[in-house]
Structure 1
Amino acid sequence: MNESAKIPAWKKFCYGCGAGGGNVMSTLLATFLTAYYTDTAGIAAAAVGTMFVICRLLDGVTDLVMGGIVDKTHTKIGKARPWLIVSAPLMVIGIILILNVPGGWSSAMKLVYAYVTYIFLNCIVYTIFGIAHSALLARMTREFKDRNTTSTISSILNNAVGLVVGTSIVGMQMKFGWTVTSIILGVTAGILILIPGLACNETVGMKQEKENKQDIPMKKQLPVVLKNRYFWMALLIGVFTLLVNANAIAAQIYYCNVVLQDPMYMATLMSMGQLPGIIILFFMPYFSNKFSKRGFMAVGGILMVIGFALIGIADTNRMLLLTGTIVRSIGIGPMFAGVYAFVADAADYGEWKYGIRSEGLMASSQSIGSKVGIGFGSALTAWILAASGYVGTPGAEQSAKVVKAIRFDYGWLGAIFSVALLVIVLLMDVEKYLPQIREELEKKEA
């Protein structure tokens, strides 16, 4: 197998379908699950929030364990693909279960059911999918420019599916109810995840694994991965990218309701917060391969800072608010695409620097980072509202302190986090080693 062979365009598309399948679940959990638990299932909001925090702690453990399992997997089709295939039907089951809390059960039993199904879907099924899908990119080719393109296509499909799902769930739920909606979403996610599992090929490391299946012990493998500075940088990029995005989405509805006093403007901000980011991704392969993805992402970081700053000073000026939202969206698009490619680059660096290749454990950096970012990003808005004295009663008049807190949360806090993200991206200089890494590893394998 030629480990540096280019990935055919149709396989790049197939790989991206998997990201779209995962985002069916991510969009559901980030946008609608809390409302389903509190308004439909009748579970107390405080209990739901506690459950989310507890599961975030469990996530870190399951991610590392799954990363180690992927690294120890040896099959004819590779390390990552078998787990993608396994995760597809599990995703169907998990999504259906999580949206069907038994209505006749007591409050305590409903909460137990929510814990069990949420842990199953988020901490087990999504962990299997996320680690395997991220690891697969590192095993499809050593050609880092081709990985950049594949990662970009994946991000485009990821965002496109998220946009479609996010705008259609309400209509499906109102027309069919949650049970039918859960089946539609589950089957859609399962099919999309199954596509890369069946269609994409693993080439990197397959020859060596066929000749020698001896496993490197986890106690030796994990310290080497943790010693790789790019593991931590990829993790932090994931944390801050999802932290910024999740916090902005959570704060957006309160900004429309309280600051603008126009809940319907939410649809405009949602679309303008995603579409420009999808469009700019079409230009990322050219600039990333001609210059560097770090440079393209750094420009994106600068635009994020500017966009959030415009939102911070906008107040009720809708033109300024919309401009800031569009600029922010253009900036954050490259971040989502670049982090997947950086994980693959970090795996190459670890093999070159320390002599141990670990796509699975390396992929856990992205998985842990994204889950931590989403969890705390969503929680930040709730904490800020509580600290400012927000009154949750519908139609209640909010104080000037609450209005000020919401404006800070939606604008300036995003700008602060974007500065931190920009600094981390500038430190992620692994690309300068990639030509040398590829040349030396190919010689070694030959």
Structure 2
Amino acid sequence: MDYKQPEEMMDKKFAFFHATSVSGTAMMIAAILSSYLSVYLTDTIGLAATSVSLLMFIATLWDAINDPMMGVIADRTKTKWGRYRPYFLVAPILLTLFSTLLWFNPNLGSGNFWYYLAMYIGYGMTVTMYTMPQMSVLPAHVKSDAIRNKIITYGAGCTALMFTIGSSYGRDIEQVLGKWFGTQNGWIPLMIILGLLSCVSFWGLFVTGKEKYIEPLPERPLTQDLKRILKHKELSPYIVVWIMASLGYGLMFATSVYYVMYYIARPDLISTYMLAVSLGALVSMVLLMGIFLRIFKSAQRALQVSVVGSSICYFILFFFGKTNFTFLLVMTFIATALASMQNALVNVLVNDAIDYIQFTEGISANGVISSIKGFAQKCGNTVSNSLPLLLLGLVGYVAGAVGKQNGATLFVLNFMRFGAPIITGAIMLLCLRINPVDKHREDIEVMKSMIRDHSEDNHE
């Protein structure tokens, strides 16, 4: 069937706020927490590495579990503002609160563990509160795959920029703000500033977002919809891909500071190395991702090529990364430039799954599908946040002992930084060979062209 869908115009205001909400200063907060919080908890607060590992495991596991809950709640939310948009009002306020309290030292002794566990759980639930609706509102506002992919690319660019600033210069900015505000802990004013800026982006998304292309809320029981979605086992490879992409991306930032500080034994070079990582991510999402999409025509093919390329670089770095720091920087930049786009390209599979369920079942399940992706992503985060610290604790890692770590600790640092991403990439390649949407692509495009604008219905 030769069918051309009517052209849809880009809503520039919506595109801007969608790209700068989750991927704006909220992402910079995530970058700082991913790169520096574990080191802060072990080396400044004094928690044992195994305790921090347990803390991260509990918090991120619960974060994964509550994602489907949030997706279900969002899909069944009924307000005069729609299903997803109301969450953009409250979530950035809570983000500011919890991200700030994570850097506060309550001096509770053994009670510090429980304090930081509670704050990290609060932070994770807040991220879920805005991530699920933000992913859901895109296919509800836009039905053109080309425009959706452009907006995803814009968000990927923002993600890379915020990660560049947060992971490379977070500690430097913290020290400057500490001097400005006359405090030894500049993380607190930094989190407040970033949180307030995130309010602007999310509130802008609330104003510009429209829930046009979703079916009105059904009267049937929720369990019926869940059964109709979960029976599609052919979508399970998507879940594995989402987990692996998140795990590989998370390990990149969760292990880099430890790698340079203890494996290379040059804490003075942390900022330089993190800059190479972050610039690689920036180039990946701002430049290379668009080039890959144009050359390889589809997000799936671009994803496969990037996995192969980054895995080759990681293999070289695993064996030769320590030989020369300049070589390490250059190869890390190339590997990161190839790898970072993977975490953005897999978002295309979310829209594919939403369209597939609407095509096969005739229901709008944006929130549930987004929450399944979020659940998978958080599972990856759970492993990337907790496993390195667990392994370090088990093999005898000593906080602050630069140049004095044992051989097992050094091996774990090198493997988690460069060996583990090769394994996650191989698993992704196996799963990407199966995409149930491909054989229905043309019919799905016809279906989307026939979906009418329900924005007025949703506000009745």
Task: Give TM-score scaled by structure 1 length.
Answer: 0.88
Q: How does 1:13-412 map to 2 (within 5 A)?
A: 13-18=16-21, 19-103=23-107, 106-122=108-124, 124-174=125-175, 175=178, 176=181, 177=185, 178-205=187-214, 208-209=215-216, 213-229=217-233, 231-281=235-285, 282-285=287-290, 287-288=292-293, 291-318=297-324, 319-392=326-399, 394-395=401-402, 397-412=404-419
Q: Deviations over 1:81-104 (max 9, x none)?
A: 12122212222222233333434x
Q: How does 1:427-438 map to 2 (within 5 A)?
A: 427-428=434-435, 430-438=437-445
CA distance in 2, matches of 1:186, 1:237: 31
Q: 1:316 to 1:101 in 2, by over 3 A?
A: closer
**What amino acid sits opposite 2:14 in the alignment?**
K
SS at match of 1:79: coil
* RMSD between aligned residues: 2.8
CA distance in 2, matches of 1:329, 1:295: 18
Q: 1:121 to 1:3 in 2, by over 3 A?
A: farther
Q: Deviations over 1:385-404 (max 9, x none)?
A: 34544444524533444434
The 8 Å contact of residues 7 and 146 in structure 1, kept in 2 or not, is answered as yes
Post-superposition offset of 1:436: 1.6
CA distance in 1, matches of 2:165, 2:62: 30
| Count of matched residue positions in the alignment of Structure 1 and Structure 2 | 437
CA distance in 1, matches of 2:129, 2:235: 19
Post-superposition offset of 1:363: 0.5
Q: 1:276 to 1:92 in 2, by over 3 A?
A: same
- 5+ residue gaps, structure 1: none
**What amino acid sits opposite 1:198 in the alignment?**
V
Q: Among 1, 6, 9, which residue is 1:6 paired with?
A: 9
Q: 1:228 to 1:323 in 2, by over 3 A?
A: farther
CA distance in 2, matches of 1:136, 1:62: 19
2:457 is aligned to none
The 8 Å contact of residues 21 and 193 in structure 1, kept in 2 or not, is answered as no
Q: 1:243 to 1:231 in 2, by over 3 A?
A: same
**What amino acid sits opposite 1:324 in the alignment?**
M
**What amino acid sits opposite 2:304 in the alignment?**
A
**Greater Cα shift, 128-137 or 241-250:** 241-250
The percent identity for this pair of structures is 21
**What amino acid sits opposite 2:91 in the alignment?**
S
Post-superposition offset of 1:13: 2.1
The 8 Å contact of residues 311 and 410 in structure 1, kept in 2 or not, is answered as no
CA distance in 2, matches of 1:287, 1:331: 10
Q: Deviations over 1:248-277 (max 9, x none)?
A: 333333432344332233333322223233
The 8 Å contact of residues 18 and 151 in structure 2, kept in 1 or not, is answered as yes
SS at match of 2:442: helix
The 8 Å contact of residues 94 and 126 in structure 2, kept in 1 or not, is answered as yes
Task: Give TM-score scaled by structure 2 length.
Answer: 0.85
**What amino acid sits opposite 2:102 in the alignment?**
I
The higher relative CO (CA closer than 8 Å, separation ≥ 6) is in 2
Pairing 1:422–2:423 present? no
Q: Deviations over 1:233-253 (max 9, x none)?
A: 333222212211222333333
Q: Deviations over 1:356-381 (max 9, x none)?
A: 22000100122112222122113232
The 8 Å contact of residues 43 and 107 in structure 1, kept in 2 or not, is answered as no
Post-superposition offset of 1:301: 0.8
Post-superposition offset of 1:23: 1.0
CA distance in 2, matches of 1:354, 1:189: 36
